[in-house]
Structures are given as C-alpha cells and as structure tokens.
Structure 1
Amino acid sequence: MRDVYIVSAVRTPVGRKNGALSGLHPVAVASLPLQEVVRRVDLDPAAVEDVVMGCVTPIGEQGANIGRLAVLNAGWPVSVPSVTLNRMCGSSQQAIHFAAQAIAAGDMDIAVGAGVECMSRVTMGSDYPEQFYAGIPYDLIPQGISAELICDKWNLSREDLDRYSYESHQKAAAATAAGYFKAEIMPVTVAHNGSQVTLDYDEGFRSNVDLAKMGQLRPAFRADGRITAASSSQISDGAAAVLLASAEGLKRHNLTPRARIVARVVVGSDPLIMLDGPIPATRKILARAGLTIEDMDTIEINEAFASVVLAWLKEIQPDPARVNPTGGAIAIGHPLGATGAKLMATMLHRLERTGGRYGLQTMCIGHGMATATIIERV
C-alpha cells in the first residue's frame, strides 16, 4: 500500500445557529473550502480525481449528492466526480479515510476528503424515519440519554461536566485571541442582518462564560440527569476540506507534503451507550500504528458531550494538556458532517505550530461507532 500525504487543509469559520453563515445555501458553504484547499497550493482542480463529501443530514438543501453539486458550484471541471456519505458525526473523517484508501490502493493520486453541515437550515434528524424499524434488536435511544449513561458508568459528576465545558470555552477564547485558528480558517463574507459581514473567527465560543451560571442550567435529557446545554456540543454551520496526494501526485503537481496518514480505523460499539466508541477505536489504532498514547503530541477527541471526553480520559490516561488544547465542539461548535475534516485541519496546523510529530483524532458516532486517525507531520 502506498503512503498518503496531507497537502492542504482548510475550513470555514464555524457559524452559530442562525448566525452569519445561516443565510448561505449548504451547496455554497460546501463549495468554499473546495475552492480554497486547491487555491492555497496552486493546484488545478482538474487534477482532483474524486471528492468524498461527508454530510449527516443529506436531505432537502443538503440532498441530491451535495458533494457533486458543490464541485459544480465551485467552478471545477465537470470531469471531477464526487460522492456524499453519511457515517453520522464521523462523516468527514470517514470521507478523508475513503479518499486516502483510494490513493493508498493506487486508484488515484489526488483526492479530497471534505464535509458540510448547515444545521440552521437542515434540521438534525430530519432524515430519520418517523419510527425506527421494530425488528432491530436494540433500543435506539437519543444520544443525550447515551451521554447520561456514560455519566452513570464512569461516575461523572455534574461538577466534572460543567468544569470541563467551562475550560473548553476558556481554551477556545485563548486560542482565538492568540490567532491560532487563522491559518486554518478561510474568511467568509456574507450578508447578515442587513449588512456585509466578513466572518474570520468561530462564532460559538464565549470569552465571558460563567461557571456558576452553567451550574444553574436544567438537565437537558433526563430529569435527574447531569448533561445540560452547556455540556453538549453546539448546533452549528460550516464546511471543511482536506487535500490528499500520493508521492507520485506530489511530484507530478509540485506539491509539498505536510503530514502523512499513519493509520485509520473505524469500530462498532454498544448502540445503547453509543458514544464510548473512541475508547476501543483509540486502543485499536495505537496497536495498528505500533505507537502509544504518550507518542501523541496532540489529540482531538470530538466534544459531542463532555461525558464522552471525560470517560475517554479515564480509560486512556493521556496527558490532559495534549487533549483538545484549543477547545472543542462544546465551545466552538459541531457542524456534524464537517467536524471530522475541521478537526483534521486544526490538528495539522497545531502540529506545525508546535513542532509536534504525531496527532490522534477520534470521534464518537451515533448508533455506536467511532473513527480514529493518526497523522505524522513531515
């Protein structure tokens, strides 16, 4: 199998629900990082042999293979194909995996893994059936209840969850103030509230978050629960894209590699507790790569809920300072189908900024699954 390299990775700012990006059609949002990811390396988009686009709610404005529509809207040649996939919250991380696998297998030399979700316009779960098929031998429960079950299993307190969520906002605010996200974000100019606005930062985080007020919020999913809106990921809008190449593709198009994809895994887990998949996914990918958690210089685990990260921390025992050091989805937002590619862009740029070697990304997924990727800065 051939090595696969990351050449470019870019994302839009993450927009808040009904925020600055909400006036843009999802096809337009998805087009933006596609245009930018090739522009940054001066690559003719005709060289791209496939675009794999993640989208969690591929219906309505996000339906009809939004990946292909985004390619056409971006002004790319009609010769560039695209497919849209849904592995729920892991969709664009899986898109990167599929694009990388095609390159590793020798089917192509240049491909893009991308993702989009405009949750302000296409409601999460709107593609669900009115009732799940009764023959499935498992209870399919809301993710918020699964997040509560994780609290029960790992003995996580309300104070634990609120403290973690508070720190996510603090880290995101500090990273934004330091300009850490500027290299990965492409500014987007939009019409919003009657004027032209250029959004070049994530809208979701709060620099003045109040831990005491967080403690007064009511449980969101269970009357006696511990998960609140503050310890859950935000409803968001956004898109991201990652340009991948083989060694042959790098040479042919005079591209510079920035990281190598070391390993990729996807696992299934208990569909009831649902969100603990990053634990076995992390163990599996470290074993496959022949590395340890101590080898990871930076780690991104998606903050679907604070309990997901806290349970993973208890089981995996990493250096906490290396985990989500610039905040996560609780503070910044979780534009479902875009988040995997967004986190990859963040992780790549952080490795370059800090001089780290290895990065680990892992995400919990609905119905009990998880994805994980290890990259090496080159």
Structure 2
Amino acid sequence: MRDAVIVEAVRTPIGRRHGTLKDLHPVDLASDVLNALIQRAGIEPSVVEDVIFGCVTQIGDQSTNVARLAVLAAGLPESVPGVTLDRACGSSQQALSFAAASVMAGHYDLVVAGGVESMSRVPLGSARTVGEPFGPRVRERYQRDSFSQGEGAEAIARTWGLSRTRLDEFALESHQRAMTATDAGAFAGQLVPITGPGGTLSADEGIRRDTTLEKLASLKPAFAEDGVIHAGNSSQISDGCAAMLVTTSERAAELGLHPIARFHSGAVAGDDPVTMLTAPIPATAKVLARAGLSIDDIGVFEVNEAFASVPMAWEIETGAAHERVNPLGGAIAVGHPLGASGAILMTRMVHHMRDHGIRYGLQTMCEAGGMANATIVELLDA
C-alpha cells in the first residue's frame, strides 16, 4: 500500500502588511519558495509532477493560477503544471491533503503542496468588490446579508465564557512564545530569506517584543462596542508563502531523500457558518477517530490563531494540554497570510517534531463558511 511522506518543507518569513514584502509580486514570492524547496531537497525540477497551491483572494496579482505562474517564474521546466485552490484559510492545508491523497492513489509519485498570499498587494475582501458572493438563497437560509468572522469570534468568547483579560493573556503568550522560538533559532532550518524591492526579510516581521497586557488592554474592540475581540488578540494581516515536497517512501528512497513525516490521517468538517469558527472542534474529533488516536497521543498541536477565542475554545472542548498547543507562538504574533497559513503551520510543526522527537502532530484551522481541516502527521526522521 502506497503512503505519502513530507520530505522537505520550507517557508518565507511572514511579512507585516505593507512591510518588507509589500512590493514583491506574489508570483515571484512563490517562485523563490519553489526554488528553495527543490534546492534543499536536492532533486531535479523535472521530477515534480504538479504544484498544488492554496490562495484565497484570487484576483488582481493573484489571479490566473498563481501556482502555474510561480512554476514559470521559478524557471522550472514548462512540463511542470500547477493548480490553485481555495478552501479559505485552510487552502494550503487542503493542498497538502489533496497532494497526499493523490500520491497514495498513484496519480502522482512526487508533488509540491503549498500556498501563497500577499495581503499587502491584494487586500482582504478585494474579491467582494465585484458581485454578491453569498447569493439570495444563502442569505435567505440564514436571514442575513453577510457573514462576519469577527462577530463569530465574539460569539465564541461569549459561549465559552472567555473574558477580554484571558484573551489578551493568550495573545501576549503568543508573542512571547514566538519571540523565544525565534531567538533560539527554532525556525532557522525552515526559513527562506526573501530579498525584494523592500529589502531582505530573514525573520517573521510581526512579533511585538514590547507588547504588554496594559498595551493590549488599551486597544479598542473591533467588532462590537462592548466586545472583547480587537486587533491585538486577532491574527495579523500578512504576506507569506510555504511549500512542502510530498512523495512516497519508495520514491523517496529511489531519489535518496529522507522523509521527515508521514501523512497519517486527514479530515474536513463543516459547522455553523454564522459562528463560523468552531469547526476545528468537530474536525479534530473526526481526524482522531479516523487515526485511532486520543488527544493525549498527540505531542504538538498547531491550531491557527485567527482570533484568540478560537484556539482557547478548542482547548476547552478537546482537553488538549495547553503547553502542547502552538508552542512556537501563532498568527497573533507572526501573522496569517490566508492561503499560505496551512502550509506555514505544517512546516513549523514538522520541523518542531523533528527537532524534539515528537511522534504525532495535529494541525487544524478554522475557515470561512464554517469549515475546518484537521491533519495528523507522524514523525519518521527522528
């Protein structure tokens, strides 16, 4: 029976909105990552059978199939195709799931999965400037004209009794963990320094080393006058890219590659699209059942910090040990470049697993429309 393994995983440092990466076209940004992935793996580019990339706002600079254009910009053989997909914030996590499934099915022997998003150049919500995305039947079913993730984050905080102070403490810890990991060199083996018109970026740009609970407490609520969600306990708008090389154990051996982790199990779940952000809870239960594992079997979790209330509610419902959740910080500290975040989280996680000899890791993230992916990988390169 064929398996699917990750043999290499790289990512850019995450750039702040309008920061160092703002003048670099997302196609060029992705091409730098593709070249770095292939060079670090030490393979001939011609053996790549496809590039599957996530990208959420596929308009303007990110239209016309970013994945294929990145292949061409990277100078890879024209024989290498590319496809771009959108499952909202989980797009590049879904890219990995599709890559793994296709490798296991025998459709590919070696494929790249990843994602890119330049939120500086293609702002959040750009696609909604043309037409009406929800359609009359969706609006009628839920008796609303639009769906707000921020309002969903507020609803989660109310439902799970999460005070502003607790949310801000979580946000502060995210920055502290990211700062500690950065200073310890935890990301050194995965980062691809990026040079563009704005200079060279070699470390995640969003970490606020001087933030405090007092500073967070001074920020104005973003979605409700008496709300608890604000810019400081929400993910940062960012630019970034990540990619993973996926193949079978057999093909890896033929090419002299050393797998990091095996794709163990994957699941996707849907939940209430109004609250929108709770689906990681059923997705986690689903993937654990499919894997035949318990929450205590998992040594590290990457739960995307879209808003602090999301991973906090997830922790309460799953019973996951807090110290194992986002040990390197998360999107509150370093940013959330939508279509790239799934691949970024997986890249962070598999390197962390290898560095610390952790057998199982679980990644999950909330997605617009009330969905979530959940993925379990198993360490092979101990």
TM-score using structure 2 length: 0.96
Question: Which of the residues 174, 179, 185 maps onto 1:168?
Answer: 174
What does the per-residue CA deviation read over 1:236-294, in whole Å, with 9 as the maximum and x for residues that have no partner?
00100010001232133221111100001111111011100100000000000000111
- Distance (Å, rounded) in 2 between the aligned partners of 1:204 and 1:302: 15
CA distance in 2, matches of 1:83, 1:237: 20
Q: Distance in 2 between matches of 1:13 and 1:213?
A: 25
Q: Cα offset for 1:130?
A: 4.3
Structure 2: distance between partners of 1:307 and 1:225? 12
Whole-Å separation in 2 of the counterparts to 1:208 and 1:223: 26
Which is further off, 182-191 or 274-283? 182-191
Distance 1:189 1:243 in 2: 23
Secondary structure at the counterpart of residue 239 of structure 2: strand
1:180 maps to 2:186: yes
CA distance in 2, matches of 1:29, 1:222: 36
Tell me by how many angstroms 1:169 deviates.
Answer: 0.5
Alignment of 1:128-207 (within 5 A): 128=128, 129-131=130-132, 132-136=134-138, 137-138=141-142, 139=144, 140-192=146-198, 197-207=199-209
Query: Where does structure 2 lack aligned partners over 5 or more consecutive residues?
Result: none
**Aligned pairs, how many?**
374
Query: How far, CA to CA, are the matches of 1:59 and 1:228 in structure 2?
Result: 28
- Which of 351, 373, 378 is residue 371 of structure 1 equivalent to? 373
Q: Tell me by how many angstroms 1:230 deviates.
A: 0.4
The aligned amino acid for 1:105 is A
Distance 1:100 1:51 in 2: 12
Which segments of 5 or more consecutive residues in structure 1 lack a partner in the other structure?
Answer: none
Name the structure 1 match of 2:219.
Answer: 217
* Shift in Å, 1:211: 1.0
In structure 2, what residue type is equivalent to 1:171? R
Q: Does 1:298 align with 2:278?
A: no
Whichever residue aligns with residue 264 of structure 1, its letter is G
SS at match of 2:320: coil
Q: Secondary structure at the match of 1:23?
A: coil
Contact 2:53–2:92 (Cα < 8 Å) also in 1 = yes
Residues 253-268 of structure 1: matches in 2 within 5 Å?
A: 253-268=255-270
Q: Greater CA deviation, 127-136 or 172-181? A: 127-136
8 A Cα contact 1:220 1:229, kept in partner: yes
CA contact (8 A) 2:148 2:274 kept: no
Which residue of structure 1 lines up, in the alignment, with residue 357 of structure 2?
355
What's 2:48 paired with? 48
Cα distance in 2, alignment partners of residues 281 and 179 from structure 1: 32
Instruction: Tell me if 1:226 matches 2:228.
Output: yes
Task: Determine if contact 1:169/1:330 at 8 Å carries over to the other structure.
Answer: yes
Deviations, residues 219-245 of structure 1 (Å, cap 9, x unaligned): 001111110000110000010001000
- Note if 1:310 corresponds to 2:312: yes
